[in-house]
């Protein structure tokens, strides 16, 4: 199937016309001991997003999961998620899209009002799953959903989707995927460099944010990001380090 897709990647490529979820397939491959595999599908029938949401994945998108086995503790895994966000953003920018990263790892296209996220639309999302011991991960699956050659109307409107087709016209999905995988491969070699690359394309830093974290809501100015992907929010009283949550950009 890899030959059929014709992707030259630093990963073994497995391509499916239709599959429930490339992440689920990559997890199965992890269980079989595989490493450095890219699972791709034209269509997913049971795509999953963050927070156990469904992820609409019709034919025409780029539905990609990368299985890696880095020698890092589980706490460093967010850096791989950020690396995928940077990789997609670079590929989208090369294709002429004004793509930016919204913390932690949504790739978005700014709306008319760049100061708030009014009108900000989502081009890609990333769902990372992993397994491991306390001191070292066994595997990490970085699942990346890119709304590529799709009409926005083909996707749920509540997801406020942006698509490559709508932004710049149809792309060569094979070449686009190749650029994403190559950039990810380069970034994973140096996880600490990911933060610098992420900052370059971030839309969240400098904005007023509300983050819905497992420990409650944090509202303030997003002032920095620290390895492996921690957002620093200045609430006016203190600087809070947020490691996970849903982030909303507020009007200043």
> From residue 217 to residue 246, what is the string marking binding to ligand BTN with x (rule CB under 6 A)?
------------------------------
> What does residue 2 show for φ and ψ, rounded to 5 degrees?
-60, -40
Query: How far apart (Å, rounded) are the C-alpha atoms in residues 239 and 212?
Result: 16
Tell me the C-alpha distance between 192 and 201, whole Å. 16
Residues in 132-171 that interact with ligand BTN by CB under 6 A = 143-145
Does 204 bind ligand BTN (CB under 6 A)? Our answer is no
Please report where in the chains the tokens 């959903």 appear, as a residue: 145
Among 11, 15, 63, 80, binds ligand BTN (CB under 6 A): 63
3-62 positions binding ligand BTN, by CB under 6 A = 21-23, 44, 47-50, 53, 55, 57
What's the min distance (Å) between Cβ of 236 and ligand BTN? 30
Q: Nearest Cα to 56, choosing from 117, 145, 173, 140? A: 145
User: Using CB under 6 A, which of 126, 181, 211, 247 touches ligand BTN?
Assistant: 126
Segment 92 to 111, residues that bind ligand BTN, using CB under 6 A: 106
Which DSSP string do the residues of 50-102 spell out, in sequence order?
A: GGG-B----TTSEEEEEEE--SS-GGGTHHHHHHHHHHHHHHHHHTT--EEEE
Binding site for ligand BTN (CB under 6 A): 21-23, 44, 47-50, 53, 55, 57, 63-65, 106, 125-127, 143-145
């Amino acid at each position: 199937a890899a030959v059929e897709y014709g992707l030259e990647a630093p990963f073994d490529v497995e391509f499916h016309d239709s599959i429930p979820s490339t992440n689920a397939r990559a997890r199965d491959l992890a269980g079989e001991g595989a490493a450095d595999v890219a699972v791709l599908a034209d269509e997913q029938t049971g795509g999953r997003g963050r927070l156990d949401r469904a992820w609409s994945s019709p034919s025409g998108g780029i539905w990609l999961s990368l299985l890696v086995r880095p020698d890092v503790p589980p706490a460093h895994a967010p850096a791989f998620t950020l690396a995928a966000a940077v990789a997609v953003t670079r590929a989208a920018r090369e294709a002429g899209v004004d793509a930016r990263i919204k913390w932690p790892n949504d790739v978005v296209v700014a709306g008319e009002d760049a100061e708030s996220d009014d009108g900000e639309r989502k081009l890609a999302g990333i769902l990372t799953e992993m397994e491991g011991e306390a001191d070292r991960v066994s595997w990490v699956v970085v699942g990346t959903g890119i709304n590529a050659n799709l009409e926005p109307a083909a996707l749920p409107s509540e997801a406020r989707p942006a698509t490559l087709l709508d932004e710049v016209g149809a792309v060569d999905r094979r070449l686009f995927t190749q650029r994403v995988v190559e950039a990810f491969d380069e970034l994973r070699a140096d996880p600490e460099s990911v933060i610098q690359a992420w900052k370059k394309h971030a839309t969240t830093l400098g904005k007023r944010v509300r983050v819905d974290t497992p420990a409650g809501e944090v509202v303030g100015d997003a002032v920095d990001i620290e390895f492996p992907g921690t957002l620093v929010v200045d609430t006016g009283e203190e600087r809070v380090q947020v490691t996970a949550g849903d982030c909303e950009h507020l009007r200043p």
